[in-house]
């Protein structure tokens, strides 16, 4: 049985999506940092658009407690791939993380597990920690297919990875019906899926790897609803969209994460 009593330092990731210019990113970082101090009790990552990464990196400074993530990556290191950005390019801009397989990439841009798998591998090869998003649609949930959809996505995207690789992978469970809808999953719904994700990792790899992995919940997380999610030891943090764009609301979410497991 997976050791769910292993309580992780929570990880809060702010996914800015296609929001904020480079100038706005700098203003956000200044404002956010004035509202909240660093704490050893939570890890914080922001994922601005590609164009804001250099100025965000600059504004954060070299030893910031806030890490940078990209929102997407191409699987090749360079080449004739018009409009794409590679892992080495992101590393050079100061990114430590990259979000891979977000449901908007899957749904709006036709990303499939096969390419997501290549992206995860490319990220790992070039020293970026992938934040792999998985999640079912409403139709799939209503057909009781949540677990099979999520474990298929995981199996396809993580195929061939070693336990060492998995040590730097974060999973984000984001039910498609909860993203940007204001209708978050219940804690119980999230915990059920998180447990099956951990069990899937334990079965496919081993128990220490499954216990050590951070599994985030994402989908309409707000300052008002984050607390019960983090109260469960099955949920290791959150991937936040809409509520991360305002410095005050993101700072409140981070403060709750910093204090809840302190």
Which residues contact ligand PGA by CB under 6 A? 15, 174, 179-180, 218-221, 239-243
Among all chains, which residue has been given the structure tokens 């449901």? 103
Choice between 74 and 175, CB closer to ligand PGA? 175
CA–CA separation, 21 vs 10, rounded Å?
28
- H or E element, residue 141: helix 138-142
Q: Tell me which residue of 10, 1, 2, 6 sits closest to 254, measured CA to CA.
A: 10
CB of 44 to ligand PGA, least distance (A): 15
Q: Is the CB of 16 or the CB of 75 nearer to ligand PGA? A: 16
The CA distance from 108 to 91, in Å, is 26
Smallest separation (angstroms) from ligand PGA to the CB of 239: 4
Quick one: 75 or 177, whose CB is closer to ligand PGA?
177
d(CA 136, CA 70): 23
Measured at CB, which residue is nearest to ligand PGA?
241
Nearest approach, Cβ of residue 220 and ligand PGA (Å): 4
Q: Which is nearer to ligand PGA, 241 or 258 (CB)?
A: 241
The residues near 209 (Cβ < 8 Å, ≥ 6 apart) are 163, 166, 167, 201, 202
**Which one of 102, 117, 126, 194 is the catalytic residue?**
102
Find the catalytic residue in 104, 111, 140, 174.
174
Confirm whether 174 is a catalytic residue.
yes
Catalytic residues: 102, 174
């Amino acid at each position: 049985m997976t050791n769910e009593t292993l309580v992780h330092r929570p990880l809060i990731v702010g996914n800015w999506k296609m929001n904020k210019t480079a100038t706005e990113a700098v203003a956000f970082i200044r404002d956010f940092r004035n509202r909240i101090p660093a704490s050893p009790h939570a890890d914080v990552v922001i994922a601005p658009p590609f164009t804001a990464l250099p100025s965000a990196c600059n504004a954060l400074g070299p030893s910031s407690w806030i890490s940078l993530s990209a929102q997407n990556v191409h699987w090749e290191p360079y080449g004739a791939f018009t409009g794409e950005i590679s892992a080495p390019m992101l590393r050079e801009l100061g990114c430590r993380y990259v979000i891979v397989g977000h449901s908007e990439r899957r749904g709006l841009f036709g990303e499939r597990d096969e390419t997501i798998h290549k992206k995860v591998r490319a990220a790992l090869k070039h020293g970026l920690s992938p934040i792999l998003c998985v999640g079912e649609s409403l139709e799939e949930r209503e057909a009781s297919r949540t677990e099979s959809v999520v474990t298929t996505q995981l199996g396809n995207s993580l195929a061939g990875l070693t336990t060492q690789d998995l040590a730097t992978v974060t999973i984000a469970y984001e039910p498609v019906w909860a993203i940007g809808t204001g209708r978050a999953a219940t804690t119980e719904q999230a915990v059920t899926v998180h447990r099956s994700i951990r069990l899937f990792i334990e079965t496919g790899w081993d128990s220490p790897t499954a216990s050590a992995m951070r599994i985030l919940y994402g989908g309409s997380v707000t300052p008002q609803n984050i607390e019960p999610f983090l109260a469960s030891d099955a949920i290791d943090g959150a991937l936040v969209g809409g509520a991360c764009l305002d410095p005050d609301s993101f700072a409140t979410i981070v403060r709750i994460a910093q204090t809840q497991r302190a």
